[in-house]
Amino acid sequence: MLQDRDKLQSDPRAESWRDTAPAGSGPSQTTVDASQLPKQAIVTLRRIEAGGPFPFEKDGIVFGNRERLLPPHPRGFYHEYTVPTPRARDRGARRIVCGGPRRQIDNCFYSDDHYVSFKRIAGLTSG
């Protein structure tokens, strides 16, 4: 389960995939510890883990990774979720994209610039 922000521990599985990927296999990734995410992102992660409910109709749709900024996987592997932005009139630019089975949060990435860049979220466990 998603632990309290203050109790989050670094998860060695959440280290940058570039550290284990062969040279030239894709873009490098940086990480962000879950405790450093905005509180709205923590709420979104809890909703992902619980299977919803989600506040936006497009939450949970397939993320195509057309920008090729995330590790390559077949279409349907990644799903995107909105991280609400305070005072935004629309969905805003912040997203969490998770790979693998739904409700699993140990392979998620955070973007605060509408997919221009991603950071792998460290310090999470599914359970």
Q: Catalytic positions, please?
A: 80, 114
Alpha carbons 49 and 44: distance in angstroms, whole number: 9
Dihedral angle computed from the Cα positions of residues 19, 97, 105 and 91, in that order, rounded to the nearest 10 degrees: 140
Dihedral angle computed from the Cα positions of residues 10, 16, 21 and 27, in that order, rounded to the nearest 10 degrees: 170
Helix H or strand E encompassing 123: none
List of residues 6+ apart from 54 with CB closer than 8 A = 47, 60, 81, 82
